[in-house]
Amino acid sequence: MEIVDAAETYLRHLAEVRRLSPATVRAYRSDLAGLAVACGDVDLAVVDLENLREWLWQAVQRGDSRATIARRTAAVRGFFAWATETGAVASDPSLRLVAPKRGRTLPKVATADALAGVLERLASAAAEGDPLALRDHAMLELLYGAAVRVSELCGLDVGDLDPERRTARVWGKGSKERVVPFGLPALRAVDAYLVRGRPVLVARRVDAPEAAALFLGARGGRIGPRAVYDLVSRELGPELGAQVGPHALRHSAATHLLDGGADLRAVQEMLGHASLGTTQIYTHVSSERLAASYRLAHPRA
């Protein structure tokens, strides 16, 4: 079996059996397509460790980041582990493939005051009654208030919200369902959008209306991640002095929860992290902020 054919079978396995997210499957498809180009149209069984090392070396020469190379390594390891289990290859050539260690980069985090200013500005714009302004305010309140991923936000249906309990049912990575809480400001913003904003956007849909989706685009269809990225970059970017996306609100929410004394396990559950180690990076962010405050304020720093 050639690499391209084997890769397509493997990617279907990831999507249909392991239920990995579409974004992860797309990334792995790109990685394995690069492997096929580097090795040529050869049978999967003839690929050896040197072929794989050469492929990674080409990525280094292009200037790919450590995180990208580490992901490529994970992709090819999973691919050949599956190929070995299914009998497509007799032995796994990726077992001795070593990925570079990822450098630890702390996420961009906005201060609570900065976020309060952004949300107050959006609330003022929403008060004018523009349906897109009402939607934008509600989306950012939920992104920060519930610490959800952008894919989870875009996937929300109206019926996923429980206003009485102030919770939302979201579908995370691997199609795992979880219920997350959100605060009164988010509830008020969403209520205003549902009453005064969403009906206007539904009416703009020229074909079948999007009956289920909570957040709609300007033409009445379910909103996509790109539109949310653009909104967050426009509103939050100037506060952080960098190009940021929706994950910055998730990072900020997690850090502020820990700063406020929330239990690390509770934050892990809210974020939907499979590993506590993933959540622990936010303790480093809190420690960095504490150290910075100490250096600025303590007379013996």
101 catalytic? Reply is no
**Cα 37 to Cα 52, 77, 158, distances in angstroms:** 12, 17, 44
Whole-angstrom Cα distance, residue 50 to residue 218? 51
Q: Is 53 a catalytic residue?
A: no
The DSSP result for 252-273, as a single string, is HHHHHHHHTT--HHHHHHHHT-
Query: 234 an active-site residue?
Result: no
> From the candidates 71, 72, 198, 250, which is the catalytic residue?
250
Q: Which of the following is catalytic: 29, 205, 273, 289?
A: 273
Which residue among 10, 144, 193, 282 is the active-site one?
282
Identified catalytic residue from 173, 204, 205, 222: 173
Pairing of strands 177-181, 161-162: unpaired
Tokens standing for residue 19:
């239920």
The single residue of 66, 196, 247, 289 carrying the catalytic annotation is 247
250 given a catalytic annotation: yes
- 298 among known catalytic residues: no
Active site annotation includes 10:
no
Catalytic, out of 149, 198, 251, 256: 149
Catalytic residues: 149, 173, 247, 250, 273, 282
